[in-house]
Amino acid sequence: MTILITGAKGFVGNKIFTTCSGTAASPSLRGVTQTDIDRIIDASGADVIVHTAAISDMGACAADPEASYKANVDLPVMLAKACRGRKLICFSSDQVYNSCEKGGPYTEDTVNPGNTYSRHKLEMEQRVLDIDPDAVMLRAEWMYDFGAVRANYMSLVLNADELRFSTREYRGVTYVKEVADNIANVIKLPGGAYNYGSETDRSIYEITREFAEYIGKDINLSDSPPGHNLWMDCSKARKYGVVFSNVLDGLKKCADDYGLSILPPPMTQPSLS
């Protein structure tokens, strides 16, 4: 099986490209036409296309909605038209829940996007699925990794002396390695939209406090007014074997992978057999 990755030099795309077997990197899709896309897909010989390329900076999308629309709607729509029986997986965003009135955790049928970026992501999902009902839309959370160039939750905690998070705000953050590790099961998903990432039943304040203790980071952590919860119910994908650590365990796993933790792992009882 060959998997074509768009945005293979980006944060998410590169992790999938380097983690999964049988991957190939798509050339840049900036300024492409439908004919260009058709040629790229056909020449790749790919069975699966994983589309990660996007403009994900919400401020940039608001400042230039035309560019956002081209990158976040038009491009994946062209890919859907070009796939012709190949499996298409598009990364969407948990931001489609950013104006939901209730506090979550949100299931896939409860959406209310409140800014340019999230409105374009939701329109992308709907238009792609209209063209290709077998396509998979992954509503991904804020992702992190150690040493990543782009700002993320991990770098925020590691580099800060003071942080403000709310004891009444819940949101998912996801270790990008687990995002890549789950792609094999994502390929098997029936078409549709799926919440994709780590779940939590603890506030971002509690998670940050315990994670800082785990890595021995001295942070002056204070309570702030709550923002909007970005808190997803991921049980739909989990039924098909797409499984993530919970938010805190994912952070600890990342810390262990990179040798950041100072607390020893829990001891296991010796086998009596």
Judged by DSSP in three states, 91 sits in strand
Cα distance between residue 257 and residue 173, in whole Å: 17
Whole-number CA gyration radius for the chain: 19
In the predicted model, what is the mean pLDDT of residues 165-185?
97
Judged by DSSP in three states, 5 sits in strand
Average pLDDT of the chain?
94
Please indicate, yes or no, if residue 28 is contained in any of the structural domains.
yes
Per-residue pLDDT of 81-131, as tens digits, reads: 999 999 999 999 999 999 998 889 999 999 999 999 999 999 999 999 999
pLDDT of residue 24: 97
pLDDT of residue 103: 87
* Cα 259 versus chain centre, distance: 24
Please indicate, yes or no, if residue 74 is contained in any of the structural domains.
yes
In this model, does residue 191 exceed pLDDT 70?
yes
Please indicate, yes or no, if residue 67 is contained in any of the structural domains.
yes
In this model, does residue 41 exceed pLDDT 50?
yes
In this model, does residue 12 exceed pLDDT 80?
yes
Percent of the chain predicted with pLDDT > 70 = 96
pLDDT of residue 272: 46
Cα distance between residue 75 and residue 103, in whole Å: 32
First-residue to last-residue Cα distance in the chain: 42
- The residues that bridge with 192 in the sheet, in sequence order, are 136
Look up the pTM and report it: 0.93
Cβ contact 104:231 at 8 Å: yes
The stretches of 11-74 forming alpha helices (DSSP H) are 11-19, 34-44, 58-63, 65-69
CATH number of domain containing 45: 3.40.50.720
Residue in the structure block whose two tokens are 């010796």: 270
Please indicate, yes or no, if residue 119 is contained in any of the structural domains.
yes
Please indicate, yes or no, if residue 160 is contained in any of the structural domains.
no
In the predicted model, what is the mean pLDDT of residues 19-48?
96
Please indicate, yes or no, if residue 269 is contained in any of the structural domains.
no
Q: What's the number of domains the chain is made of? A: 1
Confidence of residue 265 (pLDDT cuts 50, 70, 90): low
Please indicate, yes or no, if residue 161 is contained in any of the structural domains.
no
Sequence-ordered list of residues with C-beta below 8 angstroms from that of 167, at least 6 positions apart, any chain? 203, 205, 206, 223
Cα distance between residue 195 and residue 7, in whole Å: 21
pLDDT of residue 45: 95
- The residues that bridge with 194 in the sheet, in sequence order, are 138
In the predicted model, what is the mean pLDDT of residues 197-207?
97
How many residues make up the chain in this entry? 273
Percent of the chain predicted with pLDDT > 90 = 92
- Host domain of residue 194: 3-142+173-200+231-244
Per-residue pLDDT of 124-174, as tens digits, reads: 999 999 999 999 999 999 999 998 888 899 999 999 999 999 999 999 999
In this model, does residue 267 exceed pLDDT 90?
no
pLDDT of residue 94: 97
Please indicate, yes or no, if residue 151 is contained in any of the structural domains.
no
Per-residue pLDDT of 61-81, as tens digits, reads: 999 999 999 999 999 999 999
Burial bucket for residue 130 (CB in 10 Å: 0-12, 13-18, 19+): exposed
